[in-house]
Amino acid sequence: MKPINTFDVVVIGAGMAGITAAARLRSAGWSVCVLEKSHNPGGRMATRDKPEGCWDHGAQYFTAKSVEFRAQVQQWLAEGSVAQWKSPIAVWDGEQLSASRSRERFIGMPRMKSPLLDMAEGLHIVYNALVTQITHRTDDWIIEAANSIWCAHCVIIALPAPQTRALLPTGSEAHSVANSVEMEPCLALMMQASKPLGLPFAAAFVNEGILGWIAHNNRKPGRAAGEHYLLHATGEWSRQHLDASPEWVQSAMLAEFNRLLAHWLPGNKIPGVYPRYFHRWRFAKASSSAAHLKSVWPELGLALAGDWLGDGRIEAAYCSGLAAANALLNESVSVSASVTDTRPNIRTTEDKAPF
């Protein structure tokens, strides 16, 4: 018999959306368990740390527009887990480089997931817990993973849309919502140059060819000096070659990078650039927004969260996690009031990069 663990809410997924929801509910006094299939939190707020150096190989930065997220970012800035990235970022249209639109861009310090780790402190998170099935029974949810079973009054699924719909019963409204959103992959190549390249920018949006984004990782605040570069392929090219051999993909992406270097550094001897690591992001960004779709069913104790419910960015993940938690909290308050209150009830395109 597998052990049963009982909580007020189980959150599936320890990325920005899941951790935000869990932290909000814990602050309200709920018992919370977060289940994460990987060995650490963060999702696409990822940094690859190796002896040769480190690369932010998922989300490259984030912006803050909403009142809620700007307040959170200000707190992170004060705590030192986030810094503003002020280095020059260019746009390449196939003929010339130009400066990107001026905007506030933020990064985690010293790694992209640093602010998320601060939010996760004190949370009960179970790692290497791949959820295989969830079942709604009367007033509770049964959540099954390889070695355990969890029981909770509420469940929040904070996963990419394809992984979310795999856990939901076909024909349910929640399944239809997740099924209506397709997500694009992104192939990421981490490289190291033998000598400084001398590029006139820290990063660039590439609006032609097979690459969508190029970044000199060491020109971000809090990163060590060095010549570590990150390439993201476009969503279309990544989809076409998602299952190609890593060797072939790396060769093609490196050849494209060298072609661009010849444009940007004409007449210069280009130092050697060598592939170090490769990563497939199978669910990098939603191809269309689902912001208008229903994502919370308070009467069932079910909520969905993730950047795919917004514009695909870190802020959207944060806001969706907060909205999911608040909706469940509001339903809980409403139910409590109905139980204790005996009075009559009177009703009244520049940004083409995948991340």
pLDDT, mean over the chain: 92
- Beta carbons of 260 and 209 less than 8 angstroms apart: yes
Name the pTM for this structure: 0.92
- Of the two residues 346 and 303, the one the predictor is more confident about is 303
348 occurs within a structural domain? no
Q: Report pLDDT for 293.
A: 82
- Beta carbons of 228 and 53 less than 8 angstroms apart: yes
Q: Report pLDDT for 147.
A: 80
141 occurs within a structural domain? yes
**First-residue to last-residue Cα distance in the chain:** 43
355 occurs within a structural domain? no
Q: Report pLDDT for 337.
A: 44
Q: Confidence class of residue 351 from pLDDT cuts 50, 70 and 90?
A: low
Question: Is 334's pLDDT higher than 70?
Answer: no
How far apart, in whole angstroms, are the C-alpha atoms of residue 71 and residue 315?
Answer: 12
Range with lowest mean pLDDT among 107-116, 201-210, 231-240, 286-295: 286-295
Question: Is 232's pLDDT higher than 80?
Answer: yes
User: Please, what's the b/e burial string for 278-299 (b: 16 or more CB within 10 A of its CB; e: otherwise)?
Assistant: bbbbebbbbeeebeeeebbbbe
Q: Which percentage of the chain shows pLDDT scores above 90?
A: 85
Name the region of 36 (left: φ>0; alpha: ψ -120 to 50; beta: rest): beta
Q: Confidence class of residue 23 from pLDDT cuts 50, 70 and 90?
A: very high
Question: Is 199's pLDDT higher than 80?
Answer: yes
Which residues face 99 on adjacent strands? 90
Domain, as residue range, for 98: 4-336
Question: What is the CATH number for 93?
Answer: 3.50.50.60
60 occurs within a structural domain? yes
The tally of domains found in the chain comes to 1
Is beta strand 4-12 parallel, antiparallel or unpaired with respect to 32-35? Answer: parallel
342 occurs within a structural domain? no
349 occurs within a structural domain? no
351 occurs within a structural domain? no
For helices 16-27 and 314-340, angle between their N-to-C axes, nearest 10 degrees: 30
- Beta carbons of 81 and 109 less than 8 angstroms apart: yes
Query: How confident is the model over 270-287, as a mean pLDDT?
Result: 94
